[in-house]
Amino acid sequence: MSAPNFSDPSLLRGLTQRRFGRRDALKLSGLAATGAALAACGVQGKGASNSASAAPDAIAQFWNGKAKNGKLSFAGWPLYMDPKQPELKQFTAKTGIKVNYQEVIQEMGPWFAKVQPQLSAGQSIGYDLMVITNSFQFTQFRDSGFLAPLDLAKLPNYTKNAGDAYKKEAFDPGNQYSIPWASGMTGIAYDRSKTKRDITKLSDLWDPAFKGKVGMFSDIQELANFGLLAVGADPAKSTAEDWDKAAAKLKEQKDKDIVRKYYDQSYVDALGSGEVWITQAWSGDIFQKNISDGTDFQFVIPEEGGTIWTDNMTIPITAENPVDALMLMDFFYEVPIAASLASYINYVCPVPAAQAQMRADAGKLTGEDKDAALAVANSKLVFPTAAEYAKLHYYVAFESVSEQQKFQKTFEPIVLG
């Protein structure tokens, strides 16, 4: 088995670039890069609280005296919005605010390293709004005082329309610094024509009946999450002792030759060719694979649970146009706007009411266009049920670089050895 190249630029390509760019944020190469930056720079914001909680007086202090300026710059990820930017055009028509949208974020580690010096110096990074993942870097952005505290009273659409699951996120309790842009799930995909039975549990990934036909992720964070869930640990609350147990469980799977390979996004092709029958998978990939190739692969959140990742809209503490940014954040929680965005990007939508809107919009179409629109609107991979949300867990929350390094040393040998 050849070792995966975590720096291979091909990891930024593949079937669904929209999603994999975000998943790249959790590659340990990115985490390691950030660790080096933290060690070199110290990462402490100027004049900002190092607390995870935004006190009411801090919120008032930040927003006091700030006003709409009629413009903002928005830092996003590649292919995370229709290139024609219909939602931004509607926002400008409604508010008069002009938006400079740039797809400048490729990975979280390098992005943090790029903007950290300016933020530490209290300088503008040139963007008033940025989308960042619930990763180690989110914690660093927050705890370094680099994120503006949100005034939820000025986010009425979010308060009214966001799904309940997004109002109690472990990485940002109470949405003090962020609200979701979109999210996705990690679960199990399988080809029932090969497995000859339904897959429902994590233990199916350890079943000798599928020896040599199981795919696991080379992304160490994702791999570890399933090991942790398999030993009964909640990744977000896991300890170093839990990590050791999970690593032993994953090593057992490897030593018994159950795992065919540790995959990057090429797991989708491996499932399609029959190289694997059952594999760790990202929800967006399977939905888009079935739509584009006419396959009938199944995606399931196992009984023991799966994981959810969330990309989040945040305002840098040095933003020059924060009021305009906050207005745009809330605009994306208008139901028709959320429906429009989800129809294009096909990720899990944080606005449940958008599903009915998408169905209504599909009803205005005909033929294949209508069928495709309804496929997105009716997909549980875009609108998970309450029962599925209840089984989803957040990622391991690293409190320090040393913890992240311990985690990496625990799980890396499974993939690289």
Mind listing the pLDDT tens digit for each residue in 361-399? 999 999 999 998 999 999 988 999 888 888 999 888 787
Residues 67 and 177 reside in one and the same domain: yes
- Read off the pLDDT of each residue in 216-229 and give the average, rounded to a whole number: 94
Query: Is 64 a residue whose pLDDT tops 90?
Result: yes
> Are both 271 and 399 inside the same structural domain?
yes
Number of domains in the chain: 2
- The answer to whether position 288 is within a domain reads yes
Q: Is 206 found in the same domain as 296?
A: yes
333 φψ region: left (φ > 0), alpha (ψ -120 to 50), beta (else) = alpha
pLDDT confidence of 137, banded at 50, 70, 90? Answer: confident
d(CA 161, CA 354): 9
Residue 222 sits in a domain whose CATH number is: 3.40.190.10
Question: Same structural domain for residues 106 and 180?
Answer: yes
**Alpha-carbon span 363 to 359, nearest angstrom:** 6
Average pLDDT over residues 83-111: 95
User: What percentage of the chain reaches a pLDDT higher than 70?
Assistant: 87
Residues 240 and 257 in one domain: yes
Q: Report the pLDDT value the prediction gives residue 26, as an integer from 0 to 100.
A: 39
Q: What is the DSSP letter of 395?
A: P
Q: Is residue 147 part of a domain?
A: yes
- Chain-wide mean pLDDT for the chain? 87
Contact status, residue 397 vs residue 173, Cβ threshold 8 Å: no
Say how far apart CA 71 and CA 329 lie, in whole Å: 14
Q: What is the pLDDT of residue 153?
A: 96
Predicted pLDDT at 52: 56
- pLDDT tens digits for 184-204? 899 999 999 999 999 999 999
> How is residue 410 written in tokens?
């625990």
Per-residue pLDDT, 38: 39
Q: Which residue has 């670039």 as its token pair?
A: 17
pLDDT at 43: 42
Q: Residue 79's pLDDT is what?
A: 80
Check if the beta carbon of residue 416 is closer than 8 Å to that of residue 220. Answer: no
* Beta pairing class for 179-190 and 298-300: antiparallel
Sign of CA pseudo-dihedral 129, 134, 138, 139: positive
pLDDT digits (tens, 9 = 90+) for 245-295: 999 999 999 999 999 999 988 999 999 999 999 999 988 888 888 888 889
| 191 and 163 within one domain | no
Residue 86 shares a structural domain with residue 158? yes
- Assigned domain for 124 exists: yes
**Does residue 231 sit in the same domain as residue 350?**
no
Q: CA 14, CA 376: separation in Å to the nearest integer?
A: 20
Segment among 29-38, 91-100, 194-203 with least mean pLDDT: 29-38
What pLDDT was estimated at residue 404? Answer: 85
Q: Is the pLDDT of residue 34 over 60?
A: no
Sequential DSSP letters for 218-256 = S-HHHHHHHHHHHTT--GGG--HHHHHHHHHHHHHHHHT
Amino acid at site 193 = S
Note down the domain range covering 270.
186-308+392-416
Same domain, 301 and 255: yes
Residue 174 in any domain: the answer is yes
172-203: burial string, b at 16+ Cβ within 10 Å, e else: beebbbbbbbbbbbbbbbbbeeebeeebeebe
| Pair 162, 68 in one domain | yes
Pure H helices in 85-218: 86-95, 108-120, 136-143, 156-161, 192-195
Please answer whether residues 304 and 202 qualify as being in contact, where contact means their C-beta atoms are separated by less than 8 angstroms: yes
**9, pLDDT greater than 70:** no
At residue 396, the pLDDT reads 84
Does residue 273 sit within a domain? yes
Task: Report how far apart, in Å, the C-alpha atoms of 173 and of each of 58, 142, 168, 310, 398 are.
Answer: 16, 12, 5, 13, 16
pLDDT for residue 170 = 79
Q: Please indicate, yes or no, whether residues 108 and 180 belong to a single structural domain of this protein.
A: yes
**Residue 3's pLDDT band (boundaries 50, 70, 90)?**
very low
Torsion of CA 179, 183, 187, 191, to 10 degrees: 160
The reply to whether 71 falls in a domain is: yes
Residue 236 lies in a domain: yes
Tell me the mean pLDDT in the region 119-146.
93
Confidence band of 109 (pLDDT split at 50, 70, 90) = confident
pLDDT digits 0-9 by tens, 38-63: 333 444 444 344 445 677 788 999 99
- 356 and 398 part of one domain: no
Within-domain flag for 9 = no
Tokens of 177: 């610094």
* pLDDT 10s digits, 336-361: 999 999 999 888 999 999 999 999 99
Confidence at 98, pLDDT banded by 50, 70, 90: very high
Please report, as a single letter, which amino acid is at residue 217.
F
pLDDT score of 400: 78
